[in-house]
Amino acid sequence: MSSEGFLKEMQTIGEKFLLKLQKLPKADPVEIVSFCVVLLFIVTVLLLMIIACSCCCYSCCSCDGHPDHRRRKIQVRPIAH
């Protein structure tokens, strides 16, 4: 997908989201609850991705950005007889 196509798609999704938010005060309670559940799911997934990326970066790099070679795991191989 080209960057123009991606930007167009993001703009379309944003417009649909704003339209949904504008109609939300007039919506029935079931639609409001379902919208909140979907929104909570999206926020949870994004938060978990951020946590996973930060844990991954922290485990392979120290705080100053240099790799910490002491934390690397060493594989133990059986002795061949």
pTM of the predicted model as reported, rounded to 2 decimal places = 0.54
pLDDT at 61: 64
State the burial class of residue 66 (Cβ atoms within 10 Å of its Cβ: 0-12, 13-18, 19+): exposed
3-state secondary structure of 67: strand
pLDDT at 55: 78
Q: In which residue ranges of the chain is pLDDT below 70?
A: 1, 58-73, 81
pLDDT at 43: 93
pLDDT at 23: 87
pLDDT at 68: 54
